[in-house]
Every structure is written in C-alpha cells, then in structure tokens.
Amino acid sequence: MSIRVLLADDHAVVRAGIRQFLEQDPEIEVVAEADDGLEAWAKIAQHSPDVVVLDIQMPGVSGIEVTKRIRQHYRDMGVLILTAYDDDPYVMAVLQAGANGYVLKTASPASLTRAVHEVHEGQSALDPAIAHKLLRRITAEAQHPEVQPLTKRELEVLALAAQGYTNKAIAAQLHISDRTVQGHLAHIFDKLQARSRTEAVMRAVSLGWLEIEG
C-alpha cells in the first residue's frame, strides 16, 4: 500500500516541485494539496492522509497550529514540517506541538522521501542541521539538576519509541497493556519536560541515558 500524503504550502510552484520529488517514489502518493492552513485542516478531515507535509508560515492558520489540531484529533497521523526556517523558536514550537519531523527545503529529494517514510513508520525525521541545533539546546538545558531520572521500564519504553515502535507494538514487546505504555510515556514526558517523542528521545540522548543506533 502507498503512503498517502497531503501537501500544504502557500506557494504553488514550490508545491509542484515537492510533489514531483515525492511521487518519484512509487510508494508515495500525494492525495491532496492545500495552499493555506484552513484548507489543509479541511482536507485532512476529507482524505485522512498517512502523512501531512506542512510549511510553517501559511495564511490563516500556521503549520504549528495545524500540527496541534492534528495531535488533538489524529494521534497516529504523521506530521512532517518542510520549511525554509531553521530558527530555534520555530523548531521548538513545532516539535512541542507534536510534529514527527522537521526538514529544510534545502534538503535533497532523497532526504525528503526518506523523511516521509520515517515519519510514516513512526520514527523521528530531523534534518541534520536541526538535529544538531536541537541537541545543543537540550544539552544546555539538561545541566539543570531538577531533571528526574527514568525508571528501568520507562527507559525500555523510550528506547522502543526511539526505534519507531507504536504504543501497541511497545506493549507487545514488553508484554504490557497499551494503557500502561501510555502511562509510562506520560511519566517520561513529565520527567524530561518534553511534549513529543522526538524531544524526549533527544533529551535522553543528551543526558547519556539512551543511545541511537546508526
């Protein structure tokens, strides 16, 4: 089955180029396009895409706000931010809103399609420049002594989440219920002061609690 993508960007020429890049991959199908945040939100409800590729700055409703709405109503839908902005406030805002990935428009077509696949598989997809910036910031924040250590079980849950496992898959791996996994993730987010899996994983890596293979 193909990965069904909704593409939202307020520049038609940019959308056309991105669509061409994405659809070179036979496993990706762009099912809808939108040129502003409100249209994107309406078409998300209409098409139920697997992955939404969003710009940040769009008329009406920003990509950040669309991401927040998606997380409130479609928890398993992938959100990939594709933007020219690499400023810290934008990066932190969209990751805290619950985006699964953040890729710059300077990325290669191969990097973009790989990011769509990673987001669809439940993994985090960060542009190398963004990952470096985020890790540096989190490393600085991690110097604060109030960060609470994770339990052995919480580390197991976070390690599986970092590998792209869904809550249901984590539950099966650890022989616990989905609800228990959700409870562990809630505790992890609270302890690490994180609002997304990506942010929690990056904090744990910066603290030396978690290693990411590859």
pTM for this one? Answer: 0.66
Q: 209 φ, ψ to 5°?
A: -90, -15
Domain coordinates of the chain in residue numbers?
Answer: 3-126, 138-206
Look up the CATH number of domain 138-206.
1.10.10.10
Report residues of the chain scoring pLDDT below 70. 135-146, 212-214
Could you tell me if residue 26 is left (phi over 0), alpha (psi between -120 and 50 degrees) or otherwise beta?
Answer: alpha
What sign has the CA pseudo-torsion 31, 35, 40, 42?
negative
Return the residue matching tokens 């056309």: 16
pLDDT at 3: 96
pLDDT at 214: 43
Distances (CA, A) of 13 to 10, 18, 35, 36, 196: 9, 9, 11, 14, 32
pLDDT at 138: 62
H helices present in 3-85, as ranges: 12-22, 37-47, 63-73
Please provide the distance, in angstroms rounded to a whole number, between the alpha carbons at the two ends of the chain.
27
Instruction: Convert the pLDDT of each residue in 70-103 to its tens digit.
Output: 999 998 899 999 988 887 777 878 888 889 999 9
Q: Can 3-126 and 138-206 be said to share one CATH topology?
A: no
Domain formed by 3-126, architecture: 3-Layer(aba) Sandwich (3.40)
Distances (CA, A) of 18 to 9, 11, 64, 93: 10, 11, 20, 23
Instruction: Convert the pLDDT of each residue in 114-130 to its tens digit.
Output: 999 999 998 888 888 77
CB 104 within 8 A of CB 86: yes
CB 33 within 8 A of CB 79: no
3-class SS letters over 45-68: HHHCCCEEEECCCCCCCCHHHHHH
